[in-house]
Amino acid sequence: MPAASFAQSSGRISSRDGGRIIRALITRPAQDSALLASELASRGVEVFLSPMLTITLAGEAMPDLAGMQALLFTSANGVRAFACLSAERRLPVFAVGDRTATVAHEEGFTAIRSADGDVAGLAKLVAQSCTPTDGVLLHPAGSAVAGDLAGRLGADGFVVRRAILYRAQPETALSGEIRMAIADGEIDLVLFFSPRSAGIFVDLITATGLERASEKLEILCLSEAVATAADTIMWRRVMVAAHPTQAALLDRLDERMRAP
C-alpha cells in the first residue's frame, strides 16, 4: 500500500458508527503500517496512509559487541536496523513492548523479553533481570529517542551505550490527496503512536491552513504524552489508549465503535 494513499477495506463491513464506515488516517512509518492497516480493515475501517516519518539507516558503523550483555530495543525500527547491520542473534533482547518483541522474533532473535510498552517499564524489567557487573547494555536506536533509558538504568549502576543506527526523517508536506480528504471531511479519525509524529502532523495541518477542518477530526493516541504533543490545536475528540501498546489502542478503538 503506497504512502499517503487510500485503501478501501475488504467487504466494507459496518463500523457501527451510526451505520457509516469509519475512515482512519495512519501516521506511522510505512514499515509499521501494514499490520495496523490489516487490523483496521478487519474492523470495517477504511484506511488512509500518511507516514509522518521516513526511516533510513544512519550509515554509522555497528559498535563492537564484545562485552555486551543484552540488547535494549525501544522501537521496531531499532530492531530492523540492528538486524540489517549485524548477524548477531544470540544476545538477550529486552523490548519496550509486544510489537517490538514480535519484530525481534521475526528477525531471528530467540531470547526475548517484553516490557509493558514504555521506557519506564523497560528500565524496570532490565533492572530486575540483569546485573550491572555482567557487562554493557546496548541500545540500538534512532537519532531521536523518547525517554531517558540510559539515565534510568544508570541510576541502578548499569552502563548503557546508545548506538544511532537509523534516522527518522520528518515529512515536510501532506499530499494533495490527504489535504483534500481532511478538508472535505473524508477522514474521521487520526491515529498517533509517538509525540514526534503527532507534533509533525499538527505542524503540517497548521502550515496548510486546515485547523478548522481538524475540529471535525477525532484522534486516537498511544499515550498521554502523545496526546499532549497533539494538544496544540482543536480536535473533535481526543482518545488515549489505556496502555501504550497497539493492542490497547485497538481496544480503545473498539470501545469507540461500540458507543452509540
> Which DSSP string corresponds to 114-140?
E-SSSHHHHHHHHHHH--GGG-EEEEE
- Looking at the structure, do residues 34 and 78 belong to the same domain, yes or no? no
* 34 domain residue, yes or no: yes
In Å, what is the CA distance from 239 to each residue of 29, 142, 191? 21, 27, 10
Cell of 137: 547494555
The 10s digit of each residue's pLDDT in 100-128 is: 999 999 999 999 999 988 899 999 999 99
Beta bridge partners of 166: 57, 142
Domain hosting residue 157, numbered range: 56-167
The 10s digit of each residue's pLDDT in 43-91 is: 999 999 999 999 999 988 888 999 999 999 999 999 999 999 999 999 9
- Looking at the structure, do residues 119 and 66 belong to the same domain, yes or no? yes
- Looking at the structure, do residues 73 and 113 belong to the same domain, yes or no? yes
Residue 9 scores a pLDDT above 50: no
Residue 10 scores a pLDDT above 60: no
- Looking at the structure, do residues 17 and 104 belong to the same domain, yes or no? no
The 10s digit of each residue's pLDDT in 234-256 is: 999 999 999 988 899 999 999 99
* 213 domain residue, yes or no: no
| CB neighbour list of residue 106: distance below 8 Å, 6 or more residues apart | none
**Domains held by the chain: number:** 2
